[in-house]
Chains A and B, each alone.
Chain A
């Protein structure tokens, strides 16, 4: 038993010698309202058509999207949708984002940007970034780099975040799905999916999407849409197929 005691003593000595930086209360309290620990640690996302990556991108910026083979079949059965094959690594590397101002973003996208309006009063703009999508052709069964989309990232006073996504209206895509699904992982042998409402509206050739969740409510999204005088894009359920499916990659950081 002395061996264990010796290791324990060494562990205590080792960690007691670690220089602990001063606690940054402000930073911790700013982070305070982020998602709860254990429950979300296994988050995986599911969705339809553009949904899978979009939910990941809009609702859960800190979590990389991904469907594991073990749950893909269950999700496909629930959603009647099978995700396309994973994009090649070379394509993923091309989907990096660029942050900047709205003016810089306008120079990078191929639609006329209509900025969000009617945001809740406690919202702070955190980031404006553009990134290309990964486009999967259902006919050719092939991935390619798509056009750039624009992400508006916001933070609430309670630390929660949300993102609005703006992109060019693309007739090749299916009508937007009415719902997005957040995968909370396995509980008692079954995948638990939480349904979120998805909203899409048009301003000229711009389509903007938002997903209701922790960071923003249904009512707040509707208020934004109305303040922007956006035209509602009818959502469908069950989902329909388009000619392409898109993968969105939310900017990190």
Chain B
């Protein structure tokens, strides 16, 4: 069990951080998620479903932490910013994600980081696939604006619509 937690931990923390953008909250949510995964693992009969199931646990814990958080944004979250070379797509993405709601961030990260389809994300977030696609569409618009200083040509509206469904 300890080995499983050690293996899940980095992914859990990174995903929670991506949603919460706060180290303390992310660590707390990731710990809760790992604890829940450890406690509930025996109830999971399909080993192939582990990845999406664990994502669901992690995201749910992170979103619950986001809901509990006081609605006060730090004046400057540079201290929470990972070490990135400037300028870079990753840095632009970091800043663009700041403008999204936690549930939108979750959808973006599950799609672009974890590689889940909109249907799989829908299952994780317990919303319809069309809601996921809509959230991704809005998120992609925000990301397009953020990334446009680097290269606007690559993100056209047409491509945006086509990439909604996988």
Contact = CB atoms under 8 A, between A and B. Distances in A.
Contact of A3 (B18, B108, B160): B160
A11 B88 CA distance: 11
Contacts of B2: 25, 29
Given A7-B140, A15-B109, A18-B82, A32 B154 contact: no
Contact of B61 (A23, A30, A37): A37
A204 to B, nearest CB: 38
Contact of A17 (B83, B115, B140, B154): B83
Contacts of A36: 36, 39-40
A13 B33 CA distance: 23
A230 B144 CA distance: 67
B66 interface: no
Given A14-B90, A18-B13, A20-B9, A32 B113 contact: no
B39 A11 contact: no
Contacts of A38: 56-57, 60, 126
B10 A31 contact: no
Contact of B6 (A16, A21, A25): A25
Contacts of B13: 18, 20-21
A163 to B, nearest CB: 19
A28 B159 CA distance: 43
Nearest to A35: B36
Contacts of B88: 10, 13
Contacts of B38: 28-29, 32
B18 to A, nearest CB: 6
Interface in A57-81: none
B51 interface: no
B120 interface: no
A19 B80 CA distance: 10
Contacts of B160: 3
A192 to B, nearest CB: 16
B75 interface: no
Given A1-B159, A6-B154, A37-B36, A15 B17 contact: yes
A184 interface: no
Nearest to B36: A37
Interface string A216-228: 0000000000000
Q: Chain B interface mostly helix, strand, loop or mixed? A: helix
Nearest to A14: B90
B163 interface: yes
B5 A23 contact: yes
B43 to A, nearest CB: 8
A138 interface: no
Given A7-B93, A10-B93, A15-B14, A37 B112 contact: no
Given A7-B140, A36-B39, A38-B56, A14 B31 contact: no
B52 to A, nearest CB: 12
Contact of A1 (B18, B40, B163): B163
Nearest to A36: B40
Given A24-B31, A34-B32, A41-B64, A10 B92 contact: yes
Interface of B: 1-2, 5-6, 9-10, 13-15, 17-18, 23, 27, 31-36, 38-40, 56-57, 60-61, 64, 82-84, 88-94, 108-109, 112-113, 115, 126, 140, 143-144, 147, 151, 154-156, 159-160, 162-163
14 contacts: A1-B163, A4-B112, A4-B159, A7-B89, A7-B143, A8-B112, A14-B93, A15-B109, A17-B82, A18-B13, A18-B14, A20-B10, A28-B5, A159-B35
